[in-house]
Structure 1
């Protein structure tokens, strides 16, 4: 991932909420699991203790990652009066008779299952700065040519 993160205001808020949850509720929950597992006795052969310690390690790594992202991020607000695609825009494209809707976001908040694609992805990068009606061609990650026509842009 890039060293300079780009976030939408919504993405920043989601990360702040996740960080708060992890630092308060989740940390306390994992701490309690470790405490209970210690009470089982010998921790050298205690799988519950090992599982809880592994979860604690992953939790602390995610907290550190979110803290780093929030500390280095540039928050980008989408211009409200723009005819072209920017980070934060929701774009409807026609891909050969099949419409798809994408929201262009920074890499730190990309989630393809939710329709949020990175501005650094082949499709996201190709859409940036284009207008409604533009026909775009780009090469996807598999090397296949992707043809799109912008049907609608929302900010």
Structure 2
């Protein structure tokens, strides 16, 4: 299986979620199942079925996170020798040359992407256009509404 790029912060977030699921959520669900069993007939016990459904969801999420972490290529951008180039994990400030609007994005793995928080997937059209470029370079992004030109204003490795 291919290694999936993941930032250090993204890996830490997944590890924290995994720890929460294993140490807090799983024991709480086990207790809920035990309590529901004590109520008698399991066929007509809605609490039991709800708890089993929660258990199924939690165990599935635990397996998913463990798989993601085992297949992750964790990249620490602060230790990268990028020489001013845009690389995975970099935070890039760009300006739309038509509107003059400036935006800042961090290029992250697919699982970490969240446009509201300024994190875009390394596979997105904007990120693909930016990778390997430097400050003052102009990149053209093919968008559904037509091509958009951006100038790279700053690149940070934080």
Q: TM-score range by the shorter chain?
A: 0.7 to 0.9
Paired position in structure 2 for 1:132: 135
Where 2:155 maps in the other structure, the secondary structure is: strand
* Residues 26-41 of structure 1 mapped to structure 2, 5 A cutoff: 26-41=25-40
Structure 1 position 3, deviation (Å): 4.3
Structure 1 position 49, deviation (Å): 2.2
Structure 1 position 37, deviation (Å): 2.6
Q: Please, which runs of 5 or more residues in structure 2 have no aligned partner?
A: none
In 2: Cα distance, 1:58 partner to 1:139 partner: 38
Larger radius of gyration: 2
More strand by share: 2
Where 2:123 maps in the other structure, the secondary structure is: coil
Preserved contact between residue 5 and residue 108 of structure 1 (Cα < 8 Å):
no
Paired position in structure 2 for 1:94: 95
Match of 1:115 among 113, 118, 139: 118
In 1: Cα distance, 2:40 partner to 2:50 partner: 15
Where 2:43 maps in the other structure, the secondary structure is: helix
- The TM-score, its normalising length taken from structure 1, stands at 0.86
CA-atom RMSD in angstroms: 1.9
